[in-house]
Amino acid sequence: MVQSPYHLPVMADEVVAQLRPVSPRLIVDATYGGGGHTQALLEAFPELRVVAIDQDPDAIAQGPAGDAVRLIKANFATLDQIAEEICQEETADGTPCIDGFLFDIGVSSHQLDEPERGFSYRRRGPVDMRMDRDAELGADTIVNEWPVDDIADILWRYGEERMARRVARAIVAARPITDTEQLADVVAESLPAAVRRRKHPAKKVFQAIRIAVNDELGSLELGLEAAIRWTRPGGRVLVIAYHSLEDRIVKRRFAAGTAGCECPPDFPVCTCGRVAELRLPVRKPLRPTPAEIATNPRARSALLRVVEKVDS
């Protein structure tokens, strides 16, 4: 497996294997993250060109250089415009031209390991959590300015925290919260001892705030739509997700795309005109091997889903 000092690419071998039937020449790595997956793909496919996108300038700065990689600082929520421009350059009529899209959703190893980014509940740092440091909304605004109801709402929706309101009240009562260590302590103290013993009590809260800061689920929905639109027939879209909220969005969109005729079974002919735009080359999500998990424990929760574009 390819390793990068900046970020360990999860399931790189499986990504390569799922793109091999495509014989790709042009791929969009929508979550570059330092270039680990891109590096693995370039080694596997010598003629490949990669358009690499990441909203974090630290990630962009770490990747492999060369003519085969085009780096773009952007959120994949803007992927539709980026892909359209690519296909206008590649084809005479701007038709879908991209052989594959890869999404590795969530926070990178580097972002977790750098305290000054504010993503980790285990390391003291500023209450930030912005993947794009130029973004206006940071975690400090949510933690120190939002009302209880709004904080409780994101903790429930994005962290699936059952005691969301209890935690939100504790956060508001502790203001001002100036660093991630203090925030983690406030969360821990607000929860029963039994909850604290099972796992780190701040994990869900930090996840929820991070998702809200970066609008991760909304960006994923927009990015998926763009990828499906601009993948050529026979090309594939691959998504690695790490928790149920992300994976649910991917699973539902892929399932919707594979659905064909919806007419009642007793109709003699199809009248709805619906044709499947996608097919599933693998029915169930792929998981990392035990060997990879032993090397990179953060890969444990990863799920890789793959979908292929079909001729319309």
pLDDT number for residue 64:
63
Structural domain contains residue 264:
yes
The count of domains in the chain is 2
Task: Let me know: does 33 contact 59? Beta carbons within 8 Å.
Answer: yes
Structural domain contains residue 2:
no
Confidence of residue 2 (pLDDT cuts 50, 70, 90): very low
- Based on the domain organization, do 150 and 272 belong to the same domain? no
108: left (phi over 0), alpha (psi -120 to 50) or beta: beta
CA-nearest of 200, 257, 192 to 224 is 257
- Based on the domain organization, do 20 and 89 belong to the same domain? yes
- Based on the domain organization, do 19 and 74 belong to the same domain? yes
**Residue where one domain finishes, among candidates 214, 230, 261:** 214
Structural domain contains residue 4:
no
pLDDT number for residue 186:
97
Structural domain contains residue 57:
yes
Sign of dihedral through CA atoms 111, 114, 116, 121? positive
pLDDT exceeding 70 applies to what percent of the chain?
A: 96
Average of pLDDT values for 94-111?
Answer: 90
pLDDT number for residue 145:
98
Structure confidence by residue, pLDDT tens digits, 51-91:
999 998 888 877 666 789 999 999 999 999 999 999 999 99
- Based on the domain organization, do 16 and 70 belong to the same domain? yes
- Based on the domain organization, do 41 and 91 belong to the same domain? yes
CATH number, residue 297 = 3.40.50.150
- Based on the domain organization, do 224 and 277 belong to the same domain? yes
CA-nearest of 131, 142, 152, 171 to 7 is 131
Range ranked top by mean pLDDT from 52-56, 172-176, 257-261 = 172-176
**Residue where one domain finishes, among candidates 185, 214, 243:** 214
Extract the tokens encoding 182: 């203090």
- CA triple 13-309-89, angle to 5 deg: 90
- Based on the domain organization, do 231 and 210 belong to the same domain? no
**Residue where one domain finishes, among candidates 214, 231, 257:** 214
> What is this structure's pTM?
0.91
Structural domain contains residue 3:
no
Neighbour-count burial of 23, counting CB atoms closer than 10 A to its CB (0-12 exposed, 13-18 middle, 19+ buried): exposed
Enclosing domain of residue 198: 117-214
CATH number, residue 164 = 1.10.150.170
